[in-house]
Amino acid sequence: MSATILFTIISLSAIGATAAIILYFVAQKFKVYEDPRIDQVDEILPAANCGGCGYPGCRGFAEAMVKADDLSPFYCPVGGNETMAQVAEVLGKAVEAKDPQVAVVRCSGSPAHRERINSYDGASSCAISSSLYSGETGCQFGCLGLGDCVDVCDFDAIYMDEETGLPVVIDDNCTACGACVKACPNVIIELRKKNKKDRKIFVSCVNHDKGGVAKKACKVACIGCSKCVKVCPFDAITMDNFCAFIDANKCKLCRKCVAECPTNAILEINFPPKKVRTETPEKPKVEASKPVRTSAEKAGTIGEAKPEETPARPTGENKNETK
């Protein structure tokens, strides 16, 4: 009995050792080489796995950067320029700093400006609602207000305002990952350059209807009047299909277009109030007053005799006297 057990143990051990040796050689034969720098880059990345870089997770982003010869097409919106500089140092490559971005909601269609003409009773999803009909208002381009953008945000950077029914972006939390941009079926959210002091000017409307139709659907809609295009000194505003668009890279934040817009469709955010110039009234010119002469002085002047003038002697008489 003991011999049988001993034989079994030896047999199983031999089979296991043989299988291990075979598996080792097979693994070495089909081993896939992985660059150790991928792990180094992956440790530098913020591990947000948001997909804002365009790759499925930070690991895939790290692999793509290690294999690439140029880092200019790559950018981590969560880590920013600081993270990209560290990655470039590990890989021994150069990378250019890029302007930070922030998400902007291009719709001001609150109930005060957009009248509700029907009520949606269905799944609470903008994607489903947009596939069924054009929305609860007369504007088929505006925000549907069901919060798909809020659901996909992993950084608590956006919420729905109960009063306006519109999404609001918290700039300090926004990483410009672009998840909300992809989730919006009406494409009213876009990523724009983040300026100094987070100041921005943009057209808060994406309505492509003609002026009268757009104005009827929303009081603050862009009516395509092109006044902003004409007044812009930097050619930063273009008109496309009855809707204006401001290029954030060309805009110098002069705010001339804001004052020109007749429907207040152009918003200025985080600007100080404009100083009202008060014109100082001109002082009236004081003319020198002539002295007023009394009647007595006038009478005395008239009564005074003029002094007698001595007649001039002729030239000939003067000569005779000299002789």
Share of the chain above pLDDT 90, in %: 62
Domain spanning 101-269, CATH class: alpha beta
pLDDT value at residue 207 = 94
Share of the chain above pLDDT 70, in %: 85
- Phi then psi for residue 148, to 5 deg, are -65, -35
Question: What are the structural domain ranges in the chain?
Answer: 37-91, 101-269
**Which residues lie below 8 Å from residue 303, measured CB to CB, with a gap of 6+?**
none
Residue 103's nearest CA partner among 163, 197, 173 is: 173
Quick check: 61 and 74 in contact, CB under 8 A?
A: yes
Read off the pLDDT of each residue in 288-310 and give the average, rounded to a whole number.
52
Residue 140's nearest CA partner among 64, 210, 207, 46 is: 207
- Phi then psi for residue 126, to 5 deg, are -65, -35
Domain spanning 37-91, CATH class: mainly alpha
pLDDT value at residue 21 = 94
Read off the pLDDT of each residue in 52-76 and give the average, rounded to a whole number.
91
Quick check: 191 and 102 in contact, CB under 8 A?
A: yes
Higher pLDDT, 59 or 301: 59
pLDDT value at residue 291 = 56
CA distances from 202 to 187, 236, 249 (A): 15, 11, 12
pLDDT digits (tens, 9 = 90+) for 196-214: 888 999 999 999 999 999 9
Quick check: 143 and 186 in contact, CB under 8 A?
A: yes
Which contiguous run of DSSP H or E holds residue 268? strand 266-269
CA distances from 72 to 62, 75, 77, 190, 191 (A): 14, 8, 14, 22, 19
